[in-house]
Chains A and B, each alone.
Chain A
Amino acid sequence: MSESSTTGDTLLSGDASVTATVVREELLRDYPAKTKKKREKQIVINDKQRGEDGSLHLPVVAANTRTVPGIITQRGCCYAGCKGVILGPTRDIVNIVHGPIGCSFYSWLTRRNQTHTPTDEHDNFMTYCFSTDMTEENIIFGGEKRLRQAIQEAYDLFHPKAIAVFSTCPVGLIGDDVHQVSAEMKKQLGINVFAFSCEGYKGVSQSAGHHIANNQIFKHVIGEDDTERSQWSINLLGEYNIGGDAFVIEDLLERCGIELVSTFSGNSTYDQFANAHMARLNAVMCHRSINYVADMIEKKYGTPWIKVNFIGANATAKSLRKIAEYFDDRKLTENVERVIGEEFPAVVEAQRKYRPRCAGKRAVLFVGGSRAHHYQELFSELGMETIAAGYEFAHRDDYEGRQVLPTIKIDADSRNIEELRVDADQEKFRESDRQKGLKREEQGYTFREYDGMMAEMKDQTLIIDDISHSEAERLIKMVRPDVFCAGIKEKYSVQKMGVPCKQLHSYDYGGPYAGFTGAINFYEEIDRMVNARIWSRVQPPWENGSPGTESSSPSPTSLEEMEELEESTNS
């Protein structure tokens, strides 16, 4: 039975005829047959069925499949996911991009990862862009020699703790052995040098790059430093410190007395990664990009993992409580409640201010691998409804929940992304942590749980995976959302259609939006966007649908007089 109590078709706009079914048909209408067949499986109505036993059944979204050539996609490449997303925010690794200049140039400082070094003496290479800038000669005769030389030059100039090498498309094709070169240089220089085979053509999106990054960090860095950590220590996985989000979360954790061993990878350092296996719990923010590391740490070292979300005030409170609940200590619980108590009044106050101005408005979100889900929290705190959403590069589990994992078929594009075989580490596996996890699980505490986006969205909303430009444009025309969340490539076409577009990759150079203070920032930002006067001034006064020119009624000389005048004309 459908969850929806009424007709089964939630209205997407004021117009009762605009149902999800109608919109879906319009989005698919003009595609050539082959394209249509493919897109039909990625544009899905969130038809939530309850089984007899109350279990939720969701339709299948054909996520993480190839983008159809020519449709104008939001997606980027494997390299962007690996170097740009995962490794980009770590400040003290020199990241050398092996390839022609462009790939490195475009990922130079463009993701807004903030970082904070304790002093000026600490390494920070994030402001630098390193490339082997391959020439035609290297493409023909191979680029290994140039790479070796580049690593040497980077070492001589910067003396970093570690150097990472990233392969781009042409490198994979000509077959440079970046791992071999890195291993040699590691030996020669006496610092860690490791490589990522993250050529852009691998997989079907950035997602493949996340996986490759997870694998290599796990293989080459995690586990290097066994310094003991406190009983309430965690890693925060999948938080990239866009606009200072990680700073907010760091502050909250610190005030609660929770030790943050490492963040993957916002505001992070090499040493944090090396020591990450010593944390007692892994808290996963962006499930899509980092669940591999969480799984592998658990297998090798015994650290259990939980899903958290610090986007949204309620979600933040819930996540802090969930962490405290795991450690199950009265003092910690008190700390957490105290911090929530300190933060919440301002949140409530802000909600009181902004909710009336935003409530009832409608949002659509097409972004990332977790944000299109997480940010629905913030919209609902504003009383806004999400009527359509989709990810750029997520997998089925991010839509439908992790319970579908066993049913996901591995296709040709995923098969060649390495799945590391991980076994328990004889020496370093902490049986006590595993036992603790098992015990907590018996008590009803849930680990490794992520229900995905669809379970939390309303019945009969629209799910669009890897949305194309034409679909976005048709969606806007039909449902006229009040705010559209996407990225820079969509930003200005959406706005040209008269709808404000919030970038949820870069935050439009604003933020932070995480935690309690972040939530308040976001409320204010959405209020600004959906209520900006300028949207009602787009039409010139001399064209139809305009407010028209001022009438020739008597001119008031003060605001009070004007209001009086207006009242008299209105009545």
Chain B
Amino acid sequence: MTLLRHTRGGEITERQALTINPAKTCQPIGAMYAALGIHRCLPHSHGSQGCCSYHRSTLSRHYKEPVMAATSSFTEGSSVFGGQANLLQAIDNIFTVYQPDVIAVHTTCLSETIGDDIPQISEKASEKGLIPDGKCVIHASTPSYVGAAPTGFANMTAGMVKYFSKSTSPTKVADRVNVIPGWVEPADMREIKRIVAAMGLESIVFPDTSDVLDCPQTGMHEMFPKGGVTVEQLRATGDSAATIALGPICSDAAAVELTNKCGVPHTTLPLPIGLEATDRFILALREYNGGLVPQEITDERGRLIDLITDMHQYFYNKTAALWGDPDQLVSLSELLLTVDILPKYVVTGTPGKKFLRRMGEVLQERKSEVQVRQGTGADLFLMHQWIKNEKVDLLIGNTYGKYISRDEGIPLVRHGFPILDRVGHQFFPTVGYRGAIRLLEQILEALMQRQDDQCSEERFELTM
């Protein structure tokens, strides 16, 4: 029996209107994730309650963690008259009952279509005395019919700058950089902080979901766990020497905003996944620490290179199909090419102008061997059709790939969002040199296990 029995290869007809098995999801979930990276912040979904329920459920399944967020619970009446009354009541309830420091409101398709003006409503809330002293309501506009989940992340992160960042003096704090980590896992954010600290720099990482979505079991539920970037830190981003934005789609907007608003220069880099991308991150940090790279980091790099040189034969000439968020795909593709795996099919539903150009830069002379698709019709159904026509050795993407994996007998390395059926992503980073080791170890495990499973008895090896 096959799970995706209606997917066939052969001639592929272009679809104009129907998305099948999407390789993206909607903006607000990205905004919710980003907002969870502010200390003592409650994300709030301004719309009907279904969106909020779905976003919380998906994030919870991915992290196996509580995901706290509230909703304006629109009814038919609010969809006609607007959601102002709902939001005012929500703000009152939230500050009274849950007492966060920040409410981060994001819109949904519904409230966007209605045209609710969030800043005006929070103004009203403030006039009515519903916002206690020292607390704040921030917002991001996140209609799903524009962009996708990473766009929501970018918008909420830019919102943090808009609402909080302040330049208090013309001289910046020389050894402090802001790092916008992009949509990566809590473990990655923790790893980024470690790397920056190892480079001898102070950092403000925002948003920061470590210690929010990877909390220890203590027998106590902290509504607002200890992690997250504080409001004070967010304010101080305006006085940092520079901003390093990781992943243009998720992080560029906030970095640009910070440059414009507070005069903090920024560098936007690809996500530091893989050897070259991490090299670039380290080089960028070196600009601010006097040019030093500590032995610790150099050793980590050396270990990664060692792994690749030792195991190169298992990577060489293999092919992979990848899907997910553009920032991830660019860096992943580069890592695969570094070890001589060809990222043969690359698909993302998330729009964003720079993606295709950057894929071109990464692929260089191998461009012609690769199919890359973005936007309408770029979905897992299409990718599966390609696979039907010409197989690959490896799948890298979220949990939805397991259906293709089983039907086609191709191993799947789970990476990206959401991962609903395994653990690991919340604990082990994939950024930095150590993260690359983790990723390659997973890829090797998949490829070598397949070899063990499928080779003939006489070719079954003890040592590999």
**A contact set with B: CB distance below 8 Å:** 30-32, 34-35, 66-80, 96, 99-110, 117, 120, 123-125, 127-136, 138-139, 146-147, 149-150, 153-154, 156-158, 168-170, 172-174, 199-205, 412-413, 416, 468-470, 473, 487-489, 491-498, 538-539
Chain B interface, number of residues (Cβ within 8 angstroms): 87
Interface assignment of B197: CB less than 8 Å from any CB of chain A = no
Residues of the A chain whose Cβ atoms lie less than 8 Å from the Cβ of B113:
139, 169-170, 173-174
B76 CB contact (under 8 Å) in A131, A147, A202: A202
Contact of B73 with A67 in the complex, beta carbons under 8 Å: yes
Contact of B70 with A70 in the complex, beta carbons under 8 Å: yes
Closest to A123 in B: B6
Given contacts A70-B93, A124-B5, A201-B79, contact A133 B22 (CB under 8 A): yes
A169 CB contact (under 8 Å) in B69, B110, B221: B110
Given contacts A68-B73, A169-B110, A488-B60, contact A106 B20 (CB under 8 A): no
Contact of A130 with B50 in the complex, beta carbons under 8 Å: no
Cα A150 to Cα B143 in complex, Å, equals 22
Contact of B145 with A170 in the complex, beta carbons under 8 Å: yes
Interface assignment of B25: CB less than 8 Å from any CB of chain A = yes
Contact of B50 with A149 in the complex, beta carbons under 8 Å: no
Give min CB distance, B295 to chain A, whole Å: 34
Most central of A67, A70, A150, A169 by chain B CB within 10 Å: A70
Contact of A496 with B26 in the complex, beta carbons under 8 Å: no
Among all A-B residue pairs, the 9 with the closest Cβ atoms:
A77-B50, A102-B26, A70-B90, A70-B93, A106-B54, A493-B66, A149-B17, A69-B90, A100-B144
Interface assignment of B72: CB less than 8 Å from any CB of chain A = yes
Closest to A537 in B: B217
Given contacts A30-B97, A128-B6, A469-B68, contact A153 B16 (CB under 8 A): yes
B219 CB contact (under 8 Å) in A470, A492, A539: A539
Given contacts A32-B96, A200-B50, contact A102 B18 (CB under 8 A): no
Given contacts A78-B50, A173-B79, contact A130 B18 (CB under 8 A): yes
Cα A233 to Cα B88 in complex, Å, equals 54
Cα A413 to Cα B78 in complex, Å, equals 11
Residues of the A chain whose Cβ atoms lie less than 8 Å from the Cβ of B22:
101, 104-105, 108, 129, 131, 133
Cα A469 to Cα B112 in complex, Å, equals 27
Most central of B26, B86, B146 by chain A CB within 10 Å: B26
Closest to B99 in A: A30
Contact of A77 with B48 in the complex, beta carbons under 8 Å: yes
Closest to A35 in B: B93
Contact of A32 with B65 in the complex, beta carbons under 8 Å: no
Interface assignment of B449: CB less than 8 Å from any CB of chain A = no
Instruction: List which B7-31 residues lie within 8 A (CB) of chain A.
Output: 13, 15-22, 24-29
Residues of the A chain whose Cβ atoms lie less than 8 Å from the Cβ of B16:
146, 149, 153
Give min CB distance, B290 to chain A, whole Å: 41
Most central of B21, B61, B420 by chain A CB within 10 Å: B21
Cα A569 to Cα B7 in complex, Å, equals 69
Given contacts A135-B145, A156-B13, contact A72 B68 (CB under 8 A): yes
Interface assignment of B460: CB less than 8 Å from any CB of chain A = no
**B contact set with A: CB distance below 8 Å:** 1-6, 13, 15-22, 24-29, 44, 47-51, 53-58, 60-61, 64-79, 86-87, 89-94, 96-98, 108-110, 112-114, 143-146, 148, 215, 217-223, 349, 376, 381, 400, 403, 420
A66 CB contact (under 8 Å) in B47, B73, B217: B73
Contact of B73 with A69 in the complex, beta carbons under 8 Å: yes
Give min CB distance, B387 to chain A, whole Å: 15
Residues of the B chain whose Cβ atoms lie less than 8 Å from the Cβ of A79:
50
Contact of B49 with A73 in the complex, beta carbons under 8 Å: yes
Contact of A102 with B49 in the complex, beta carbons under 8 Å: no
Cα A290 to Cα B205 in complex, Å, equals 50
Cα A134 to Cα B113 in complex, Å, equals 12
Residues of the B chain whose Cβ atoms lie less than 8 Å from the Cβ of A153:
15-18
Give min CB distance, A544 to chain B, whole Å: 12
Give min CB distance, B357 to chain A, whole Å: 22
A150 CB contact (under 8 Å) in B18, B78, B148, B222: B18
Contact of A69 with B6 in the complex, beta carbons under 8 Å: no
A170 CB contact (under 8 Å) in B6, B44, B94, B109: B109
Give min CB distance, A140 to chain B, whole Å: 9
Could you list 30 A-B pairs, sorted by A, with CB under 8 Å? Answer: A67-B73, A68-B89, A69-B70, A69-B72, A69-B93, A70-B70, A70-B89, A73-B53, A75-B73, A76-B53, A101-B349, A104-B19, A105-B24, A106-B57, A110-B61, A120-B1, A128-B20, A130-B19, A135-B145, A149-B16, A154-B18, A173-B110, A469-B98, A473-B223, A489-B67, A491-B60, A493-B68, A496-B222, A497-B220, A498-B220
Closest to B110 in A: A169
Extra 9 A-B pairs, beta carbons < 8 Å, given A130-B18, A131-B19, A134-B145: A68-B89, A70-B70, A71-B97, A72-B68, A105-B24, A129-B20, A156-B13, A496-B221, A539-B219
B50 CB contact (under 8 Å) in A100, A103, A489: A103
Given contacts A30-B96, A127-B403, contact A489 B145 (CB under 8 A): no
Residues of the A chain whose Cβ atoms lie less than 8 Å from the Cβ of B98:
72, 469-470
Closest to B72 in A: A69
Give min CB distance, A65 to chain B, whole Å: 10
Given contacts A70-B93, A200-B50, A496-B217, contact A117 B1 (CB under 8 A): yes
Given contacts A70-B94, A173-B114, contact A200 B48 (CB under 8 A): yes
Residues of the B chain whose Cβ atoms lie less than 8 Å from the Cβ of A78:
50
B29 CB contact (under 8 Å) in A35, A102, A416: A102
Contact of B89 with A69 in the complex, beta carbons under 8 Å: yes
Given contacts A31-B96, A133-B22, A158-B6, contact A200 B220 (CB under 8 A): no
Give min CB distance, A486 to chain B, whole Å: 12
Residues of the A chain whose Cβ atoms lie less than 8 Å from the Cβ of B381:
128
Residues of the B chain whose Cβ atoms lie less than 8 Å from the Cβ of A147:
17
Closest to B88 in A: A69
Give min CB distance, A127 to chain B, whole Å: 5
Closest to A491 in B: B60
Closest to B14 in A: A153
Contact of B25 with A489 in the complex, beta carbons under 8 Å: no
B54 CB contact (under 8 Å) in A71, A73, A102: A102
Give min CB distance, B19 to chain A, whole Å: 4
Contact of A538 with B217 in the complex, beta carbons under 8 Å: yes
Cα A153 to Cα B376 in complex, Å, equals 14
Contact of B218 with A496 in the complex, beta carbons under 8 Å: yes
Residues of the B chain whose Cβ atoms lie less than 8 Å from the Cβ of A488:
57, 60-61
Contact of B79 with A34 in the complex, beta carbons under 8 Å: no
Give min CB distance, B145 to chain A, whole Å: 5
Give min CB distance, A29 to chain B, whole Å: 10
Residues of the B chain whose Cβ atoms lie less than 8 Å from the Cβ of A158:
6
Contact of B50 with A71 in the complex, beta carbons under 8 Å: no
Contact of A495 with B96 in the complex, beta carbons under 8 Å: no
Closest to B91 in A: A70
Residues of the B chain whose Cβ atoms lie less than 8 Å from the Cβ of A149:
16-18
Give min CB distance, A345 to chain B, whole Å: 34
Cα A32 to Cα B93 in complex, Å, equals 7
Most central of B29, B66, B68, B220 by chain A CB within 10 Å: B66
A106 CB contact (under 8 Å) in B19, B21, B25: B25
Contact of B19 with A101 in the complex, beta carbons under 8 Å: yes
Residues of the B chain whose Cβ atoms lie less than 8 Å from the Cβ of A71:
70, 93, 97
Contact of B54 with A201 in the complex, beta carbons under 8 Å: no
Closest to B64 in A: A492
Cα A509 to Cα B233 in complex, Å, equals 41
Given contacts A35-B93, A138-B145, A169-B79, contact A201 B28 (CB under 8 A): no
Give min CB distance, A212 to chain B, whole Å: 13
Cα A434 to Cα B112 in complex, Å, equals 51
Residues of the A chain whose Cβ atoms lie less than 8 Å from the Cβ of B77:
412-413
Closest to A469 in B: B68
Contact of A204 with B19 in the complex, beta carbons under 8 Å: no
B78 CB contact (under 8 Å) in A77, A201, A538: A201
Given contacts A77-B50, A132-B19, A169-B108, contact A100 B219 (CB under 8 A): no
Contact of A127 with B97 in the complex, beta carbons under 8 Å: no
